[in-house]
């Protein structure tokens, strides 16, 4: 690996009791990259990104950002954020209150919070009038956008997604895939995206990392993986797309 990785995971092992969920993982992510992680259920995808954002601790190994270790930094002080499949929006709050929530936690002044929330609504192409709307009045796609706006609120450098679209119907998924790709291009942020849909991975990402039983089987562009799979496992996994 080269010297100047943006995010570097080195020799990461994660054990739960005697079970090894991640086994000496190495991964470099470039700044602004859209990296997708795919792999069978239980292969360690969620565990890996939980370590990256700091929801859980590594058993051994290091995570660094711009050459500085972040694996010892608490989650709320890492420049990362996570978007879950469940979105985890607060249904009793307005759109504006939801977006401002992380800013309030960080003690930003009300006027500044509101200005930032309105700016994010514009970025996500939601009308300003949505600021006062209740979450319960928003459609599924709009809720996705609100969740994204909230994730971007404190300007994280890395946004991590754990299967954000898998509960949605096909048409909405296709629309949001496009929007996410577009958002990635417009913000230039680093996206780490988990999906179990290889098709989704192929259309969205710069690189795809294929996980198998706590290790990376192959990390490469969709085209490279497709034309030069390193193993039968990868080949059969790719075969599922057709």
Judged by the rule CB under 6 A, the positions of this chain that interact with ligand ADP are 16, 19, 21, 39, 41-47
Give strand pairing partners of 37.
194, 209
Nearest-approach distance from CB 71 to ligand ADP, in angstroms: 17
Is residue 205 a contact point for Mg ion (CB under 5 A)? no
Nearest-approach distance from CB 50 to Mg ion, in angstroms: 9
Which stretch, 45-53, 90-98, 122-130, 176-184, contacts Mg ion (CB under 5 A)?
Answer: 45-53
Q: CA-to-CA distance for 11 and 27, rounded, in angstroms?
A: 9
DSSP conformational letter for 94: B
Nearest-approach distance from CB 211 to Mg ion, in angstroms: 10
Which stretch, 14-22, 42-50, 92-100, 139-147, contacts Mg ion (CB under 5 A)?
Answer: 42-50
Q: CA-to-CA distance for 108 and 102, rounded, in angstroms?
A: 9
Residue 210's binding partner among ligand ADP, Mg ion, none (Cβ under 5 to 8 angstroms by kind) is none
Q: CA-to-CA distance for 54 and 79, rounded, in angstroms?
A: 10
Residue 44's binding partner among Mg ion, ligand ADP, none (Cβ under 5 to 8 angstroms by kind) is ligand ADP
For residue 29, what are the contacts with CB-CB under 8 A and spacing of at least 6?
Answer: 5, 6, 7, 8, 35, 158, 190, 192
Nearer to Mg ion, 39 or 96 (CB): 39
**Helix or strand or coil: residue 198?**
helix
Nearest-approach distance from CB 30 to ligand ADP, in angstroms: 23
Handedness of CA 184, 189, 192, 194 (dihedral sign): negative
The tokens describing 68, both together, are 């500085």
Nearer to Mg ion, 84 or 154 (CB): 84
Interface pick for Mg ion out of 46, 98, 195, 218 (rule CB under 5 A):
46
The tokens describing 102, both together, are 């992380």
The tokens describing 49, both together, are 């990104």
Chain positions contacting Mg ion, by CB under 5 A: 46
């Amino acid at each position: 690996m080269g010297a100047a990785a943006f995010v570097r995971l080195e020799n990461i092992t994660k054990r739960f009791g005697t079970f090894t969920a991640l086994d000496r993982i190495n991964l470099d992510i470039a700044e602004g990259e859209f990296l997708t992680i795919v792999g069978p259920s239980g292969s360690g995808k969620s565990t890996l990104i939980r370590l990256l954002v700091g929801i859980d601790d590594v058993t051994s190994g290091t995570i660094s950002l711009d050459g500085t270790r972040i694996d010892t930094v608490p989650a709320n002080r890492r420049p990362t954020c996570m978007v879950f499949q469940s979105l985890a929006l607060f249904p009793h709050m307005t759109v504006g209150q939801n977006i401002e929530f992380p800013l309030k936690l960080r003690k930003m002044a009300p006027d500044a919070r509101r200005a930032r929330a309105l700016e994010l609504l514009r970025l996500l192409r939601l009308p300003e009038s949505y600021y006062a709307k209740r979450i319960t009045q928003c459609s599924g796609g709009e809720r996705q956008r609100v969740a994204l706006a909230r994730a971007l609120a404190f300007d994280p450098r890395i946004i991590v997604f754990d299967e954000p679209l898998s509960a949605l119907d096909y048409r909405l998924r296709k629309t949001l895939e496009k929007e996410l790709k577009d958002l990635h291009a417009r913000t230039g942020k680093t996206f780490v995206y988990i999906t179990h849909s290889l098709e989704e991975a192929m259309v969205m990402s710069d690189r795809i990392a294929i996980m198998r039983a706590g290790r990376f089987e192959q990390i490469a562009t969709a085209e490279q993986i497709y034309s030069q799979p390193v193993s039968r496992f990868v080949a059969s996994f790719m075969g599922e797309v057709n």
